[in-house]
Amino acid sequence: DAGVIQSPRHEVTEMGQEVTLRCKPISGHDYLFWYRQTMMRGLELLIYFNNNVPIDDSGMPEDRFSAKMPNASFSTLKIQPSEPRDSAVYFCASSPPSVFYNEQFFGPGTRLTVL
Amino acid sequence: RKEVEQDPGPFNVPEGATVAFNCTYSNSASQSFFWYRQDCRKEPKLLMSVYSSGNEDGRFTAQLNRASQYISLLIRDSKLSDSATYLCVVNMSHDYKLSFGAGTTVTVRA
């Protein structure tokens, strides 16, 4: 079975440009998470969805960041305008439905560099 | 104070050695505990959950001390393939949010 799929794997852009990261969760998983990882701050949760509905976006750094999940098999994280401090690895993860907390399966990540 | 704190290491150990490290968490009401493994330039993957009574998975043993709010991981008979960063992960509330430690780097040398 395919795991979590993310695209692109690498993105290099210039400051001020719009960046869109994409994620396809594992089929049947109804939780989807967006994380950002940097050396300075480690792995941070940005936002998570349940059944396509955003549940907690308190980790989104500022209004330049937005995330959508139009259907169960697709989510986007958009940064507009991008800044050099947004350079990081962005991971998408998904989790199956469960009464109790369940394992999160991570995608390979998108390595973003903003020049 | 960070929610989850770990000794960053690195722990450099020879093959066959035992290595152990801890992490501490700030919220005494935390519900669930995990160790994730992250290889260089790869995604994190669940290594094992940590149960109140402690648990083993092959050469890996995890312990939870709720009174002192720390979690430990012990690796016996270290293999070269155990070289990785080990992330301590805590679920601090009744939802699906996880708090990740910064990771402990282990390097096993031949």
Better pLDDT: A41 or B94: A41
A 10 A CB-CB count for A109 gives 23
Is B42 in Cβ contact with A108 (below 8 Å)?
A: yes
pLDDT for A102 equals 72
Whether the Cβ atoms of residue A30 and residue A96 lie closer than 8 Å to each other: yes
Is A107 in Cβ contact with B97 (below 8 Å)?
A: no
pLDDT at B2 over 70: yes
Which residues, listed in sequence order, are joined to residue B24 by a DSSP beta bridge?
B5, B70
Q: How far apart are CA B60 and CA A80, in angstroms?
A: 44
pLDDT at A100 over 70: no
Q: What is the mean pLDDT of residues A60-87?
A: 96
pLDDT at A61 over 70: yes
pLDDT for A48 equals 95
Is A106 in Cβ contact with B45 (below 8 Å)?
A: yes
Q: How far apart are CA A7 and CA A23, in angstroms?
A: 7
pLDDT for A99 equals 64
State chain B's maximal CA–CA distance in angstroms.
43
Residue A103 with chain B: CB contacts under 8 Å: 46
The set of residues, in sequence order, having a beta carbon less than 8 Å from that of B48 and lying 6+ positions away, is B34, B35, B55, B57, B60, B62
Q: What is the mean pLDDT of residues A31-50?
A: 94
Query: What number of residues does chain A have?
Result: 115
